Amino acid sequence: MEPHPLDEVGLPHLWFAHQLVLTLSGQRPVHALLGHALPAAYDRLAELAPQAPLRPLLGTGRRGPVPTVSECGLCRPRRGVIEAFARITTGERLRALAFRLELGADSRWRCAALDIGPAPALPGPAS
């Protein structure tokens, strides 16, 4: 498998953020990241993906705006490791996504861990 162009310019965190958004919004199947994630991260992704926590829904059967990566930042705690965050916007809704990338012996970045912030509370009936 060839490296992604964003890997070549030093932006693997941005590529992964977009791929995670596509998967967690139900736009791409989880197996699309097979080979791009280490086993524990892939298991977490497989657990989250059916819930599609970033799915753009307005109500029963109505689609909302498509989620996008509005910001993506990183820190490099050591060589071969990127800890990244992404702010995901869906219309007026904002969500957080955090993930860790590790550079393998084959010079490919793989997602080693991921977490998504808690689901926003749904508005309840007025009291």
pLDDT for 28-83, tens place per residue? 999 999 999 999 999 999 999 988 888 876 666 666 788 999 999 999 999 999 99
Which burial class, exposed, middle or buried, applies to 109 when counting CB atoms under 10 A from its CB (0-12, 13-18, 19+)? buried
Give how far Cα 86 sits from Cα of 2, 42, 59, 78, Å.
Answer: 25, 18, 25, 20
- Say if residues 31 and 22 touch (Cβ distance below 8 Å): no
Q: What angle do the packed helices 12-24 and 39-48 form, to 10 degrees?
A: 40
Residue 57, pLDDT score = 64
Residue 118, pLDDT score = 74
Mean pLDDT computed over every residue of the chain:
85
User: Global pTM?
Assistant: 0.81
Beta strands 68-78 and 62-63: pairing type? unpaired
37 DSSP assignment: B
Residue 6, pLDDT score = 47
For residue 50, what are its two tokens?
């059916």
Backbone angles phi and psi of 86, in degrees to 5: -140, 140
